Each structure stands twice: as structure tokens, then as C-alpha cells.
Structure 1
Amino acid sequence: MSYLYWESVPTRWNDNDGYGHMNNVVHYEMMDTVANTWLIREAGFDPFHGETIGMCVASRCEYKAEARFPEVIRVGLRIGRLGTSSVRYEIGLHRADGETLIAHGDFTHVFVDRRTRRPVPITGRMREAMEKLVVAS
């Protein structure tokens, strides 16, 4: 899979579970962190004061290999679908080499008005930034 944006995320001591590997919930935390970091840095998203917020309406993850502390995970991000008010992020977690797949998944944000929680169109800088990450499935 080709990803157009990459972040390195170090594992933490408490990411390991009783089985000695990274707990499954940490994979979702990494995906969410990288997508929101990208939104803030590249798309001008303000999750704390902006008029719109992104609500997660669906998520999925498939696990391919174990990871554990101490390890740096390379997280790739792309957009598989960009709608009027929704976006589906596709995310891959890889070993530091950027090749060996640990897990891949996706989650969908619907952007809504902060007060009314009604869907709003993705426009302006955010839409322009998202269009740069769209890949054909």
C-alpha cells in the first residue's frame, strides 16, 4: 500500500500487555494520533476552538505482526475516500524499516458543527490538504 504521509511513533513501556506485546488498543491510539496530527499541522484543523469537529463514526484494524516496547513504529496515512462531509483515512503501522506491516486499518470522520453536531462540508484549506492524500483504491 502506498502512503503519502508518514510519522514515527515510539512505543511506550505501558504499551505492552500481559502477553508481552503491544496491546491492540494502542494500534488505534497511534492511528488516531497520526491522523489528528496531520489534520492540525497540514490541514489547519483546530480541534479545540474551531467551528467544526471530526467525529469518528467507524473504525477497523487488522493485525499482521506483533510489536513491543521498545520499538519505533512508522505510521503511514492516506485517504481512501473523501466525501462532502466525511473522510476515510487508511493507515498502516510498520516496523522502523517502513516495509514490514504490523497492522493496517481505517477510520471515518464526519465533520460536524461544534454546537449543533450536524454534518458540514469539508472546505477550504482542509479539503485542499485532504485532496493531496487521496489515493485510488
Structure 2
Amino acid sequence: MSKRNGSRDEYRFFLAMPTRWSDNDRYGHADSAACHAYFDTAVARCLIDSGAPCPADSPVIGVVVETHCRYFGPIGFPDTLAAGVRVGHLGNTSVRYEIGLFREGESVASAEGHLVHVYVDRETRRQPMPLPPALRAALAPLLAD
């Protein structure tokens, strides 16, 4: 992720996401925990809509090992956000998802960040596993330039 806020055209998938009153902190903007929840929701929906294998049925699951958010402008209730998702890195056992949060009508991100999934054996939740071919195929169109 760069130190400047990105534009909508840098992302491959978008999810409309209304903010909630309970997302705001005492200063009147979305709490950092809410922003990380937006990221998690956007990635989960992106995976579903991209046709990735269902984690409930898969012997391999993705666990979050890293998350980060950089803020460029305020987000808060009653904003409606467009959460943009792209894949920044598609490795053998991990994926770095990059997310931008855009306020309605704005072309640059108010917040950007990433989360990294390491794919592991469902039973042990420790043994890193290669990405299933169906997951790799679903994520390939989301790769950033």
C-alpha cells in the first residue's frame, strides 16, 4: 500500500456498505475496529461473489495473520461506503487482500488497508497448505496491476 490514498479504478471488486450508528466513536467518526470489520466483511463477500470454495466445506481455511489500516479522511454514520477489494499478492499458502473504503460520491479512498490470510489445514489450524486451485482461479482476476 502506498502512502497516498488510492482511487476507485485501482480496485477490482466493490461492495456497498452502510455504516451503523454503533460504528461511531465518541469523536463522531467510525472507530478503528469498525474499519477492520468493514475490511473483513468486504473480503468475505468478495470471496463468496468470486466463486471461491466455501470455507465451511473446505479442508483448507484462511486465517487472518495480519491486518493494517491507514486513514486519510473521516468515515462515520450515516455514510454509505463502497469497499473496494483487490489482491495485492497471491502466494503459495497466503493471500494479501487490499481494501479501500470510499465514501459515497468520492473517487479517492478515505481509508485503505490490507489483511493477509494464510491458508491452513482445517483440523490442525497450524499446517500451512497450498491454495486450492479453485481458490487461486477465483482470485486471479482480482490481482492488482
TM-score bin (small chain): over 0.9
Q: State how far apart, in whole Å, the 2-side matches of 1:43 and 1:88 are.
A: 18
Partner of 2:85: 77
Partner of 2:136: 127
Q: What is the aligned counterpart of 2:51 among 43, 47, 65?
A: 43
- Quick check: 1:22–1:67 contact (8 Å CA) kept in 2? yes
SS in 2 for 1:87: strand
Pairing of 1:80-99 with structure 2 (within 5 A): 80-99=88-107
Tell me if 1:106 matches 2:93: no
* Alignment-mate amino acid for residue 13 of structure 1: W
Q: State how far apart, in whole Å, the 1-side matches of 2:102 and 2:43 are.
A: 15
Task: Give the alignment's Cα RMSD to 1 decimal.
Answer: 1.3
Q: State how far apart, in whole Å, the 2-side matches of 1:98 and 1:110 are.
A: 32
> How many aligned positions are there?
136
Relative to the length of structure 2, the TM-score reads 0.88
Give 5+ residue unaligned stretches, structure 1: none
Q: What is the aligned counterpart of 1:19 among 24, 27, 35?
A: 27
Which aligned runs of 4 or more in structure 1 are off by greater than 6 angstroms?
none
Q: State how far apart, in whole Å, the 2-side matches of 1:70 and 1:100 are.
A: 19
Tell me if 1:32 matches 2:40: yes
Q: State how far apart, in whole Å, the 2-side matches of 1:13 and 1:48 are.
A: 31
Task: Report the alpha carbon displacement of residue 98 of structure 1 after superposing the two structures with TM.
Answer: 4.6
